[in-house]
Amino acid sequence: MDNTRTVKRNSDLNIRTEFSFIVSDLVLASILSDIAQANVNIAVFFTNRTKANKNFVRLVPGSAESENKRDLGVVRKTLQAHKIHYKEQKIITISPNRIPSGVPGGYSKIFGSLWCRVKVKSFYNGEGDFVYLNVSNIKKALEILSKENVKPCKSKLG
């Protein structure tokens, strides 16, 4: 049975699961090792140092194109085994087809159509040049991103 799961909105937009948490270097190394030993791929791994010298982590399990229940379960169980408080949120993935390599303005078009209409919590790249968006309102963001000619938000200062 195929456990692969993506919610198709169109061929370029999908919904995925992001885990975020804060941990020390040692705990992060152990978590990543446990996930790898369970043979789970991580499509996105983003970390940023906090003021308390810990790692704020965003992690999206699965392949660039999809996630499955097993991979999500492994990540949940691993974080729980380490007694980590984590957030699990739905995010949007955008296929690299939407942002052609070497063509200026791709990120501007996406961010520029969203920032005044929904709160963009995070915007980052992952495996396979997919773009990952954590936004305040996924449904509204998907509607905006699905339209051909969206008027960009005002972006000129002054």
CATH number of the domain enclosing 49: 3.30.2130.10
State pLDDT tens for residues 90-116.
Answer: 999 999 888 767 777 888 889 999 999
pLDDT, position 148? 79
CA angle 35, 41, 46 (to 5 degrees): 85
154, part of any domain: no
Percent of the chain with pLDDT over 70: 91
Retrieve residue 35's tokens. 């996930």
Cα–Cα distance measured from residue 43 to residue 24, given in angstroms and rounded to the nearest whole number: 21
Residue 34 within any structural domain of the chain: yes
pLDDT for the residue numbered 89: 96
CA atoms of 124 and 134, how far apart (whole Å): 9
151 within some domain: no
pLDDT over 50 (residue 156): yes
The predicted model gives 78-88 an average pLDDT of 98
Q: Which domain holds residue 75?
A: 4-146
In the chain, the number of structural domains is 1
> Does 121 map to a domain?
yes
* Residue 96 belongs to some domain of the structure: yes
This prediction's pTM: 0.85
Does residue 113 lie within any of the structural domains?
Answer: yes
pLDDT recorded at residue 103: 72
Within a domain: residue 78?
Answer: yes
- In a domain? residue 47: yes
